[in-house]
Structure 1
């Protein structure tokens, strides 16, 4: 199982600005753990997400020697993608594409059709720069707005992305409403439609729900799971303070009970957990 740690997601909704030097200390500790990918920052409007206004400065302070962890930066439009691909150290550019029209407007101030045009343009940019575009299918397990939803709808969105040559597609439970049954159902649909495609899962959860969601994702054949130490974070546009990311500690523990290795340096992980309590 490949693990993506998401300190950007954990930090972005905090009202207290975390000093750049503290962010650098924390991210450098995470780079020693052995995560496959580190969702470390974003290139978005500082008015929308003021916590991430120093992403370029943070990147300059990261020690990438001796780590295999790949850096991922989130963007909200083509301009952000153009910024992100200008940094050699960034391997992945992430973009939230919602299957809910309401949430796409709330999150990026664009319609789904406009966002899809952005995705096509960003994929061309990433291909030219030898970067990977990661598309998060927001509201991928349903939405609270009454917009139409079904696993077949997610399959349709995935088809469009695969047709563009996008390999990294991650359904996202943006508001934490997905049950284990719904998680298995969606990924079963996706694996039936795309049997040679490896999918990731970005799930949110209320306290205590994470282990069951992780087990459901494993049963459904998910190959990558996103988490954040302490379960911090969640989407600031979704407005539910209790719904956070899957706690990385619980992901690791659950995978351990299933006999699934992560390849992490657990001593380094423990040090990162301690530092997270100080910094965040």
Structure 2
């Protein structure tokens, strides 16, 4: 019998904070992330190297990084980049393990999110993969709008598979199928994810789902039962993508995910005392 892969949890304070209008002081961001680093998540999506005009909240990512204590954590750091300039900057930091790039299968959203076309973004992915290899980083390619889009751009499961094929063909080894606006459903997850997991056994395929509170648990269940073992989430479901809609759809709530996986007896290796500290401290971050 084939052994199940261990579950990887990716906590996303970057995604939780990026859409907030009032600037969160750098020291508060760093203190919050330092608590999350103690919990034992596989990865912390901590910041992004993008234009401060696009995401003003994250203009201090380098300063936050300088304040992080990585001496006693097993968690790895992931930074989001939107172009090669940002990727080159992020690559300079030894502490960062993963460079995340949002590759949208919606032409409208790719332009809106990265100010480039899908065709241009394919070239960016190729160069990002090369840059990552040269700098001992690993690229995480997000298949953004992977469950549909609000712009009327064509979407179906075959389009998702075609882009996954192309990205894996270019050398991507981690894909995160992303529901940017909360349009995923258990039916869509079960229709798309198992086929991708079976087709790319040597590729790590995860889910970055956005959701309203009343649909979180059914999506978690569908993802887990479909074989997903890499989950992105954010404490209390804070956040959303400000480049997608004005009315943000929150992230998958980490506490819901933890509760579900614990009920399935998944060994998560989390320090729940530090988790509770992070939950308490979050009231200083998300006012």
TM-score range for the pair, normalised by the shorter chain length: over 0.9
| Residues 5 and 227 in structure 1, CA contact (< 8 A), matched pair in contact too | yes
Match of 1:166 in 2: 172
1:274 is aligned, of 266, 276, 280, to 280
Please tell me whether residue 11 in structure 1 is matched to residue 12 in structure 2.
no
- Please give the TM-score of this superposition, normalised by the length of structure 1: 0.98
The alpha carbon displacement at 1:131 in A equals 0.3
Per-residue CA distance 1:134-156 (angstroms, 9 max, x = gap): 00000001111111111111111
| Residues 28 and 284 in structure 2, CA contact (< 8 A), matched pair in contact too | no
Aligned length: 280
C-alpha separation in 2, matches of 1:236 and 1:277: 21
Match of 2:4 in 1: none
Match of 1:68 in 2: 74
| Residues 155 and 193 in structure 1, CA contact (< 8 A), matched pair in contact too | no
| Residues 46 and 79 in structure 2, CA contact (< 8 A), matched pair in contact too | yes
2:107 is aligned, of 94, 98, 101, to 101
C-alpha separation in 1, matches of 2:202 and 2:81: 27
- Please give the TM-score of this superposition, normalised by the length of structure 2: 0.95
The alpha carbon displacement at 1:191 in A equals 2.3
The alpha carbon displacement at 1:259 in A equals 2.3
C-alpha separation in 2, matches of 1:267 and 1:235: 30
2:222 is aligned, of 216, 223, 235, to 216
| Residues 151 and 189 in structure 1, CA contact (< 8 A), matched pair in contact too | no
1:181 is aligned, of 178, 182, 187, to 187
Unaligned runs of 5+ in 1: none
1:33-112 alignment, distance < 5 Å: 33-112=39-118
The alpha carbon displacement at 1:240 in A equals 5.0
Q: After superposing the two structures, state which structure 1 stretch, 13-22 or 146-155, moved more.
A: 146-155
Q: Secondary structure at the match of 2:214?
A: coil
Please tell me whether residue 123 in structure 1 is matched to residue 129 in structure 2.
yes
| Residues 242 and 248 in structure 2, CA contact (< 8 A), matched pair in contact too | no
Q: Secondary structure at the match of 1:225?
A: strand
1:193 is aligned, of 199, 222, 226, to 199
